[in-house]
Amino acid sequence: MSSPLDHIFIPVAILLLFSKKLKLNQREVIALSFFAVLPDIDSIFFSSNGISLHRVLFHNIFIVIIPLLFFMFAKSKREVFGIIIFYLTSHLILDLFTGGIFLFYPVYNKVFFAHVELLLSHGSFVPALEYGISNRIMNNGIGAPAVSSENVAFVILLAICAAISAIAFHRKTE
């Protein structure tokens, strides 16, 4: 499972890496970083029968909708809402790759998960890929991963930033 440090460090590092190309205020990137762990606030809630609601209440796409609406319709502070959207989305992606999330809760009460590893076994690398929809949060892999699900999620987030950067650069040169 991703730690709060992973949830903060990975997206902050990505945004700081691309801050000049995306013309992001580095102070805002740091100041807004608490949004990267905001979905984990659901870890303090429990159902009436004592079951934890962690990765349920705020680990879904609906947590991104309000900042997305502000991003789309607000004339000012679009950069701020873009950063918030990136932080919230990065949290969902990291947790999707580390046990899964209730992506469409409360509309659809199933866990979406993806698990990718490159295991080192008897001197050779063995790829392990598992993804799907489940009734429960999945257990994390077996063995000692040389490439973990968090690493794959990091690459996806990096690719998203690279694509956004390329689009911004392309628009600038037109």
**pLDDT tens-digit readout, 68-88:** 999 999 988 999 999 999 999
Report domain extents, the chain. 4-109+148-173
Residue 140 has pLDDT above 50, yes or no: no
First CA to last CA distance, the chain: 43
pLDDT at 1: 60
Give the mean pLDDT of 130-149. 67
Confidence of residue 92 (pLDDT cuts 50, 70, 90): very high
pLDDT at residue 48 tops 80: no
In this predicted structure, which of 45-49, 85-89, 155-159 has the lowest mean pLDDT? Answer: 45-49
Q: Identify the H or E element spanning 124.
A: strand 124-134
pLDDT band, residue 152 (cuts 50/70/90)? confident
Q: Tell which wins on pLDDT, 11 or 157.
A: 11
Give the C-alpha separation, 85 to 171, whole Å.
21
Residue located via tokens 């801050």: 19
At 174, the pLDDT band (50, 70, 90 cuts) reads confident
**pLDDT, greater one: 52 or 35:** 35
Q: Please state, in angstroms and rounded to a whole number, the distance separating the CA atoms of residues 143 and 132.
A: 21
pLDDT category of residue 55 using cuts at 50, 70 and 90: confident
Q: Residue 139 — pLDDT band, cuts 50, 70, 90?
A: low
Query: Closest Cα to residue 150, out of 113, 83, 96?
Result: 96
Report which of 40, 66, 36, 44 is spatially closest to residue 55, judged by C-alpha positions.
40
Whole-number Å distance between alpha carbons of 27 and 39: 22
Q: Could you give the CA distance from residue 162 to residue 165 in angstroms, rounded to a whole number?
A: 5
Mean per-residue pLDDT for 93-109?
Answer: 92
pLDDT, residue 142, reads 42
DSSP-assigned letters across all residues of 5-35: HHHHHHHHHHHHHHHHHHT--HHHHHHGGGG
